[in-house]
């Protein structure tokens, strides 16, 4: 067996995550959703940290959330069906939605990204090679495969 290290550029990570997040019904939106309250908190803290000189914005990342995650933030991923059901019930009853009982199916953070990409390299080399070391005919499906490894540690949704 030969073990090799791969350097993955920030731009490649951004491309994978952005493609998975914006990919439509065949990707993230069909199986997971970020805890929006936590996303807002992360972005607020990130902006405050930049103002205080604790962090610096990395323009390799399109979204502040991805930049913050790469600098140590973590965001939970919730089951989208349970989330939508809680939202629907709240809307029907004219109340504010309570997502506290929605199942957390994973998290996205620097460690989960590293571990997920290692697993993807071992188990889904075709998808891995479509994005790393740089974009090479990757698409929503291959990006979502890598993103599932990053969030869930495995591929559950195809």
For residue 3, being part of any structural domain is answered with no
For residue 108, being part of any structural domain is answered with yes
What's the domain range around 80? Answer: 10-152
For residue 5, being part of any structural domain is answered with no
For residue 14, being part of any structural domain is answered with yes
Give which of 35, 88, 105 is closest to 65, Cα–Cα: 35
pTM score of the predicted model: 0.90
Q: What is the total count of domains within the chain?
A: 1
**One digit per residue, pLDDT tens: the chain, 158 residues?**
777 788 999 999 999 999 999 886 567 888 999 988 899 999 999 999 999 999 999 999 999 999 999 999 999 999 999 999 999 999 999 999 999 999 999 999 999 999 999 999 999 999 999 999 888 888 999 999 999 999 999 999 87
User: d(Cα 127, Cα 93) in Å, to the nearest integer?
Assistant: 43
The predicted pLDDT at position 17 comes to 95
User: d(Cα 42, Cα 67) in Å, to the nearest integer?
Assistant: 10
For residue 67, being part of any structural domain is answered with yes
């Amino acid at each position: 067996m030969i073990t090799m290290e791969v350097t993955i550029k920030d731009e490649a990570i951004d491309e994978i995550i952005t493609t998975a997040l914006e990919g439509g019904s065949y990707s993230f939106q069909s199986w997971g959703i970020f805890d929006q309250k936590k996303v807002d908190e992360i972005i607020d803290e990130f902006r405050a940290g930049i103002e205080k000189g604790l962090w610096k914005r990395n323009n390799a990342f399109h979204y502040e959330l991805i930049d913050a995650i790469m600098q140590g933030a973590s965001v939970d991923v919730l089951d989208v069906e349970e989330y939508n059901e809680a939202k629907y019930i709240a809307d029907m009853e004219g109340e504010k939605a309570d997502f506290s009982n929605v199942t957390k199916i994973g998290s996205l953070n620097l460690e989960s990204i590293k571990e997920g990409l290692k697993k993807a390299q071992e188990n889904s080399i075709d998808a891995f090679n479509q994005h790393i070391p740089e974009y090479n005919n990757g698409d929503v499906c291959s990006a979502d495969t890598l993103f599932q490894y990053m969030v869930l540690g495995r591929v559950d949704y195809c």
